[in-house]
Structure 1
Amino acid sequence: MTRSFVHLSLEERRTLYHLLHAKASISEIARIMGRHRSTIYR
């Protein structure tokens, strides 16, 4: 079983930064960004 990982783009990292500082929940951030919650945690 192979897994392929795609890194977050610079724009996605900026979005993540702003959402985290706005106190958004991890689940909400994942939904907004279209990524899995575990990706956000990492």
Structure 2
Amino acid sequence: MNITKNILISQKILLVHKIRTTLSLSGVIIGISAVIIMVSMGKST
């Protein structure tokens, strides 16, 4: 498959499933933030 076609399909799917996309991105952001906070708290002591 062509990379351009894959990108267009991905964009279409993300736009159709806005709530799922938002929840997934929120989960990733919260998870990364939690790891960063835990590491920084561990190194501060």
TM-score by length of 1: 0.36
Q: Specify which structure has the bigger relative contact order, considering alpha-carbon pairs within 8 angstroms and separated by 6 or more residues.
A: 1
Higher helix share: 2
Between structure 1 and structure 2, the one with the greater Rg is 2
